[in-house]
Structure 1
């Protein structure tokens, strides 16, 4: 069962620009309450502050029962980070841990990093509020001549449970499948990470240089799509790719069944799914099949799909996935597939 219920996702995530990309996969009209979480255009900053970040992360001392006196003894040099509105304990840390307040780091800082014509496209809370993200996007969806629609954005995320450093990262959302994809395959996408330490601060000018500008992602990604669409992949080469990506063990058993199911799902996407089939027979189709399967088809253990996808987007897991897919494709084709530098 998902850690994040549908009720939570409909109340604690905000989705913008739905006129451009449709509703999120978790949207349920009956769970929206009196205030829908979907916006046809950009999400107002004040709505993010009020609906998601209208509480504080407080540092509180930790006590244990004294076995001698039966009273409470404070644990030195330790602190709990709790929600001011619910008292929910989000994490326990040493006294050197420095919380990064959501409004300050995910709204004010992003606003100082970026241009005025960029707007909030999504924001949300996971793990009882212990993880948060804000995505800032260009207003218009970009469509390449090959029919690929995407939205470049800057993704900011942080946590109060120790699972994430505060991270700012360039990324791309593929509209047809609502997937996060690598903004650049030639090298690791630009990102900035700041530890939750009293001595670790964000230097804005260095961050701007590292992240470049969000608008540049559009040119880089469009060129990347074009090159992959120009790369032919025959039926035989597609079968060879499946052999490399999901090899079947010699003996039947659980591993064989898992690999066979993965291959079957990929083949279905390749042949029959509108998110992939229009580009079957190309390198872009291969990228789409693997990325879409991982986002929406692969089994998720120990977390909900939304949480898993968010964390992979922030930590670079989807960048690594796309680059590994490209490496296997080049291995099957026995030649490099040049892509633009990120």
Structure 2
């Protein structure tokens, strides 16, 4: 990752509860501003507003150069959304596009959903400020009897570039590897999406009921972890899983090399990495191996790793990953993995 990308992360993301989770992987002391972006406890709401969301998204007409006169002609029915502080163009839309300001939608709405003081665990801007997220977390880590330490949270994100509808969803952060995981491993995580259209709004009562907020997440997730840890995966089944998850092409070449590298990395995680190996020979170990590989080891093209991971967390990519892993594991076992839906 370039120094410019690292500098952006150190100045445009805020990381809370570091006494519980440690420093973020991108932390660099020499790239911090006068105000460090790490907080031992929760991130103050006012710091998020001031340091990240202290600017306005502005709608502006769109103009193009006329090939006849050389002057500028306004494009009817189109608007550009710019940062009011530096003029950065974040997106171009029809007149029907409705802005969802970050403070209103990611702080005020979450506060209303929770009916309580905010405990912000992380917040950040990506793509020059065109994408933003806020994660609201419980103060203390939850540790299961099987030694899995996690943090349940409510995740909110939106965009000014058209890449995301405003989304609120339950999720879990696995502390040992800083991975995002589905709150319900057996099914898609509960979420609410609101399009950027005229008269868009959150129906608070419906959203609260659908999300079950974060209070039920800990019990649901801990029960699923226990079931997965009780499910034994033999060495033979692990090898069969690798064959199904990362099959080797018959012919030599780039595809076979990529598959071999993927299998080698997964095997090292399975046997030797403390993010995975403590749960080796269990179904949880299989989930953890694939999730950790995808978060931290897989080659990323066309986007920074933190951007890719954050967008997957919002769009449900990691929910789908965990479910697909379970499906593949079930296909190579005589008995299906016993995980009830959250």
Q: Same fold (TM over 0.5)?
A: yes
* Within-5 A mapping of 1:1-342: 5-116=5-116, 118-342=118-342
Shift of 1:170: 0.2
Deviation (angstroms), 1:193: 0.1
CA drift at 1:117 = 5.3
Which deviates more, 300-309 or 195-204?
A: 195-204
Q: CA deviation at 1:213?
A: 2.5
Q: Deviation per CA, 1:282-316, whole angstroms, max 9, x where unpaired?
A: 11100000000000000111000001000100000
**Whole-Å separation in 2 of the counterparts to 1:118 and 1:243:** 45
Asked if structure 2 preserves the Cα contact closer than 8 Å seen for 1:154 and 1:169, the reply is: yes
Structure 2: distance between partners of 1:24 and 1:213: 25
Return structure 1 stretches of 4+ with deviation > 6 angstroms: none
SS of the residue corresponding to residue 76 of structure 1 reads strand
Which ranges of structure 1 fall in alignment gaps of 5 or more residues?
A: none
The unaligned stretches of length 5 or more in structure 2 are none
What do the CA deviations read for 1:80-137 (whole angstroms, capped 9, x no partner)?
A: 0000011000000000000100000000000000142551000000000000000000
TM-score, structure 1 normalization: 0.98
The separation in 2 between residues aligned to 1:111 and 1:99, in whole angstroms, is: 20
Please tell me whether the aligned partners of residues 16 and 43 of structure 2 are also in contact (alpha carbons under 8 angstroms).
yes
C-alpha distance in structure 2 between counterparts of 1:115 and 1:324, whole Å: 35
- C-alpha deviations, 1:158-200, integer Å up to 9, x for none? 0000000000000000000000001112321110000000132
Aligned counterparts of 1:332 and 1:255: Cα–Cα separation in 2? 23
CA distance in 2, matches of 1:56, 1:199: 20
Q: How many residue pairs were aligned?
A: 342
Asked if 2 retains the 8 angstrom alpha-carbon contact of 1:3 and 1:304, the reply is no
1:339 Cα deviation (Å)? 1.4
The separation in 2 between residues aligned to 1:117 and 1:83, in whole angstroms, is 29
Deviations 1:301-334 (A, max 9, x none): 1000001000100000000000000011111112
User: Taking structure 1 as reference, are residues 4 and 212 closer, same or farther at Cα in structure 2, changes over 3 Å only?
Assistant: farther
1:4 deviation in Å? 6.7
Give the Cα separation in 1 of the matches to 2:240 and 2:336.
Answer: 16
Q: TM-score with structure 2 length normalisation?
A: 0.98
Specify the SS of the correspondent of 1:60. strand
Mapped contact 1:194–1:200 kept (Cα < 8 A): yes
Secondary structure class of the residue paired with 1:62? strand
Q: Which stretch shifts more, 189-198 or 68-77?
A: 68-77
CA deviation string 1:15-67 (max 9, x = no partner): 00000010000000111121100000000000000000000000000111122
Alignment partner of 1:5: what SS? helix
Partners in 2 of 1:314 and 1:338 — Cα distance? 27
Cα deviation, residue 337, structure 1 = 1.4
Alignment RMSD (CA, Å): 1.1
Q: What CA distance in whole angstroms lies between the structure 2 residues aligned with 1:27 and 1:115?
A: 33
1:63 aligned counterpart, secondary structure? strand
Deviates more, 1:167-176 or 1:331-340: 331-340
Contact 1:177–1:292 (Cα < 8 Å) also in 2: yes
Distance 1:167 1:18, change over 3 A: same
Instruction: Give the Cα–Cα distance (whole angstroms) in 2 for the partners of residues 286 and 275 of structure 1.
Output: 11
Contact 2:15 2:38 in 1 (8 A): yes
Q: Distance in 2 between matches of 1:60 and 1:117?
A: 36
